[in-house]
A and B are shown apart, each in its own frame.
Chain A
């Protein structure tokens, strides 16, 4: 029961690592993904963009794994000073931590925003606080508890999600997806950026890899962790476009929810799936929130070499205040886009530089 989450005993398996990456990626993004992509690309071919960006993510994930496996059993925050020296390490760590905090806050805010579908009239702070307290309780259990919970909720969410979204095949029309590449490849490339944003999540490997029981399999976990969200996103985008058509979804705030609202299945206990999906998806948002909250707290604690628990508590109000800064939903979405951009540089570019530097300065062990 002790909160020593950094102890050697607190280890996670390869599948748990993969699940952690999956659960981090599958967050609030899926609710808006079809719209953001179609808005940018204006073509039904955006599913190709997802495949392309999935490949890009795999590449940057590979770099992160390469970097981390030079420092067995150490998280980013622990090995950074070795590579860059204390001052720069501090800077990068703080950047990464703020990023995690921001993502955490973003998820909280999205949940508060979608909350009105479920609970019109309940103040959002009540919704958010319950959510954060339960997250806190979980995080205090350390990384192995987090990953165990993720493994419980992943199948539940995926099964419900897939059932719900496949049931929408009754309004699916393949003509909405045709013609393939009708307007050429350029719009597809434009769709890559917004889809990259929803793939943020692989960066948790910077932390999680240190706790893996079998660090040699980190690449496997990474590939599994990226492939599943790619498939889920692919199905989502195809079904949403096929069901609503790009014209229909462009003006919807939450296109994935609206897809669920656009059909009724009679003869089942549930005719309507949107609240069900939302409720189930809250669990995914919960996992994204907890993992980022955990990573940020861990970052502080390892940077200052202090006990982990006080930081978990201290981060609660910080995340809450960040989450409540945007004034309206458009600011929230803009903020989300901004985080996505930051993530591309922070976790696409920086690890590559770090890897080069560490190879040049011969820091860390060579991975076998």
Chain B
């Protein structure tokens, strides 16, 4: 009898152990708010916040930034599914805005407002407004984001010309702006106005290295978005100091990152439009050090096709004509490069073209000497460049 009693006791202990331990950290996926986009703005209290503050619902804080999270998918009643599906044109996301001075505190404030807590695993895009980045260093703004275990370092970082939260809203039904923005980056093979995506981890490593860097700029108008240019962040302060426009970016792309798509448009001597589509390009920044003098030489070569030619009457695509056009395109690219170099060296006085990397790799000793004040040194370094364009084909029609 005693044996059985002991046996029952053991079973009971085992069962209670299992029951007690059951489902500690389990949280059903539908009981969570998945946010895919995060926008950071200068403090701008929403009507709701102003309203509740009037009723005294507040906690001690300085209004420094406004965080907008984009939550998908919004809770829909199950009943709606039965009714006509075509009639509901509900948006597929919710944007939630809160203001405060600590990102994590703001995030935890959401817990007071939503029954489904936020999880950051699926965060795809973070948009920072240039206004905010002008005031605070990115290191400060992104500190929480980089520490958080949920948010993946693969998340894309963008800067917005105006309010960042605007870039997270759309008037197109069925579209989730954050995912849409993340998808735009993949179009690099179609346009050389898109810089290689800067993920959180890349941002972190650039901030740690102390060099200046670019973030893709997104502008919004009428709830529609476009990538346009890039914001420049100075390495020493990590603050926004200005931006390169689309045309500058094209110039930068020729030597800073390999061009795999896009269009170079210029005008022939007679004034008609000709357009070249680069298929591949090869660029090299060659640092030269003689004594204390550093100089760079940029070598760009590109292969592509002549994709548009408005000449009238049609000029047949002869060898000489091609050479002639190549010269024109080279001139155009030269112009682009010259402009962006001028902006970098004389307007903003920062190196965002990767010159420092090449110097570091080729002349590590020299680099160690100059790296402290590189941006200043860079702005007075002579840079020469040569461009070589090759039209290898002219599409399906050759006249």
Contacts of B96 in A (CB 8 A): none
Could you tell me if A121 and B24 are in contact, using CB atoms closer than 8 angstroms? yes
* B154 A122 Cβ-Cβ under 8 A: no
Chain A hits for B121, CB < 8 A: 272
Contact stretch, chosen from A154-162, A178-186, A304-312, A339-347: A178-186
C-alpha gap A356/B361 in the complex (Å): 48
Distance A120 CA – B24 CA, assembled complex (angstroms): 9
Please state if A122 and B24 are interface contacts (CB–CB under 8 Å).
yes
The reply on B192 being an interface residue by CB < 8 A is no
- Does A338 make an interface contact (CB < 8 A)? no
Knowing A179-B362, A247-B205, A250-B208, say if A262 contacts B25 (CB, 8 Å): no
A99-121 toward B: CB 8 Å interface, digit per residue (1/0)? 00000000000000000110111
Residue in contact with A261 in the complex, picked from B21, B152, B368, CB distance below 8 Å: B152
**Interface status of B379 (Cβ within 8 A of chain A):** no
Q: Are A251 and B204 in contact (CB under 8 A)?
A: yes
A250 to chain B, nearest CB (A): 6
**B interface residue count range (under 10 / 10 to 19 / 20 to 34 / 35 or more):** 20 to 34
The minimal Cβ–Cβ distance linking B169 to chain A, given in whole angstroms, is: 24
The answer to whether A126 touches B21, judged by C-beta atoms less than 8 angstroms apart, is yes
Q: Are A248 and B201 in contact (CB under 8 A)?
A: yes
CA distance A105 to B371 in the complex (A): 44
Is B360 a contact of A179 with CB atoms below 8 Å?
A: yes
A79 within 8 A of B: no
Cα of A286 to Cα of B129 in the assembled complex, Å: 47
A82 cross-chain contacts in B, Cβ below 8 A: none
Given A119-B25, A121-B24, A122-B24, residue A258 in contact with residue B201 (CB < 8 A): yes
Q: Which residues of the partner chain A approach B361 to less than 8 Å between Cβ atoms? A: 175, 178-179, 182
Q: Interface 1/0s, chain A 257-278, versus B by CB < 8 A? A: 0100111100000001010000
If A119-B24, A261-B152, A262-B199 touch, whether A245 touches B209 (CB-CB below 8 Å) is: yes
Q: Which residue of A lies closest to B21 (CB)?
A: A126
Whether, in the assembled complex, B364 has its beta carbon less than 8 Å from a beta carbon of chain A, the answer is yes
Contact of B229 with A by CB under 8 A: no
Complex: A116 Cα to B148 Cα, angstroms: 12
> Which residue of B has the minimal Cβ distance to A119?
B25
- Taking CB atoms, residues of chain B closer than 8 Å to A175 are 357, 361
Residues 332-383 (chain B) with a chain A CB within 8 angstroms: 357, 360-362, 364, 368
Q: Could you tell me the distance in whole angstroms from the C-beta of A284 to the nearest C-beta in chain B?
A: 21
> Which residues of chain B are within 8 angstroms of A244 by Cβ–Cβ distance?
201, 205
Contact of A317 with B by CB under 8 A: no
Given the complex, which residues of B lie within 8 Å of A116, measured CB to CB? 149
In the complex, whether A367 has a CB less than 8 A from a CB of chain B is no
- Contact of B153 with A by CB under 8 A: yes
Instruction: Kindly state the separation between the CA atoms of A264 and B36 in the bound complex, as whole angstroms.
Output: 14
Do the beta carbons of A261 and B25 come within 8 Å of each other? no
Please, how many angstroms separate the alpha-carbon atoms of A252 and B316 in the complex? 60
Is the Cβ of A247 less than 8 Å from the Cβ of B209? yes
Q: Of B24, B146, B200, B206, which contacts A126 at CB under 8 A?
A: B24
Contact B24 A123, beta carbon cutoff 8 Å:
yes
- Asked whether, in the complex, the Cβ of B25 is within 8 Å of the Cβ of A122, the reply is yes
User: Which residues of chain B come closer than 8 Å to A247, judged between CB atoms?
Assistant: 205-206, 208-209
How many angstroms between the C-alpha atoms of A252 and B152 in the bound complex? 13
Query: With A120-B25, A126-B21 as given contacts, are A248 and B360 in contact (CB-CB < 8 Å)?
Result: no
With both beta carbons as reference points, the residue of chain A lying nearest to B208 in the complex is identified as A247
Whether A251 lies near B208 (C-beta < 8 A) is yes
Set of chain B residues within 8 Å of A262, measured between Cβ atoms: 152-154, 199-201
Question: Is B116 on the interface with A (CB-CB < 8 A)?
Answer: no
Q: Which residues of B contact A243 (CB under 8 A)?
A: 201
Q: Nearest residue in B to A115 (C-beta to C-beta)? A: B25
Taking A120-B25, A126-B24, A263-B154 as contacts, is the C-beta distance between A183 and B368 under 8 angstroms?
A: yes
- In the assembled complex, B202 has its CB within 8 A of some CB on chain A: yes
Give complex CA distance A116, B199 in Å: 24
Q: 8 Å CB contacts to A: which residues of B185-218?
A: 199-202, 204-206, 208-209
B208:A248 contact, CB within 8 angstroms:
yes
A264–B185 CA distance with the chains assembled, in angstroms: 14
Question: A367 → chain B, closest Cβ, in Å?
Answer: 48
Chain A residues with Cβ under 8 A from B362's Cβ?
179
- Smallest CB–CB gap between A264 and chain B, Å? 5
Interface string of B203-246 (1 = CB under 8 A from A): 01110110000000000000000000000000000000000000
Chain A residues with Cβ below 8 Å from B202 are 171, 248
CB distance from A354 to the nearest CB of B (A): 45
Q: Which residue of B lies closest to A258 (CB)?
A: B153
Cα–Cα, bound, A189→B25 (Å): 45
Q: Is there contact, CB below 8 Å, between B24 and A179?
A: no
Contact between B149 and A117, CB atoms less than 8 A apart: yes
Bound Cα distance A78, B175 (Å): 72
Beta-carbon contact of A245 and B205 below 8 Å: yes
A183 to B204, CA, bound (A): 23
Chain B nearest CB from A287 CB (Å) reads: 25
A248-B204 in contact (CB<8A) = yes
Q: Point out the residue from B200, B206, B360 that lies within 8 Å of A182, measured CB to CB.
A: B360
Say how far A272's CB is from chain B's closest CB, in angstroms. Answer: 7
**Would you give the shortest CB distance from A232 to chain B, in whole angstroms?**
22
Can you list, as one digit per residue, whether each of B117-131 has a CB less than 8 Å from chain A (1) or not (0)?
000010000000000
Chain A contacts of B200 at CB under 8 A?
A: 262
Q: Chain A contacts of B368 at CB under 8 A?
A: 183
A183 touches B364 (CB 8 A): yes
User: How many angstroms from the CA of A126 to the CA of B205 in the assembled complex?
Assistant: 36
Closest Cβ of chain A: how far from B230's Cβ, in Å? 19
Which of B146, B202, B206 counts the most chain A CB atoms within 10 A?
Answer: B202
Cα–Cα, bound, A261→B362 (Å): 31
CB distance from A198 to the nearest CB of B (A): 23
CA distance A120 to B361 in the complex (A): 42
A245 to B357, CA, bound (A): 12
Which has the most chain B C-beta neighbours within 10 Å: A182, A243, A250?
Answer: A182
Taken together as a complex, chains A and B put the C-alpha atoms of A114 and B202 apart, in Å, by 23
Chain A residue, CB-CB nearest to B367: A182
Residues of B within 8 A of A122 (CB): 24-25
What mask results when residues 121 to 160 of chain A are scored 1 for a CB within 8 Å of chain B, else 0?
A: 1110010000000000000000000000000000000000
Sampled A-B contacts (28; CB under 8 Å): A116-B149, A119-B25, A120-B25, A120-B149, A123-B24, A126-B24, A171-B199, A171-B202, A175-B357, A175-B361, A183-B364, A245-B205, A247-B206, A247-B208, A247-B209, A248-B202, A248-B205, A248-B208, A249-B205, A250-B208, A251-B204, A261-B153, A262-B199, A262-B201, A264-B152, A264-B154, A272-B152, A274-B152
**Complex A-B, nearest 8 residue pairs according to Cβ-Cβ distance, in ascending order:** A248-B205, A182-B364, A121-B25, A247-B208, A247-B209, A122-B24, A262-B201, A245-B205
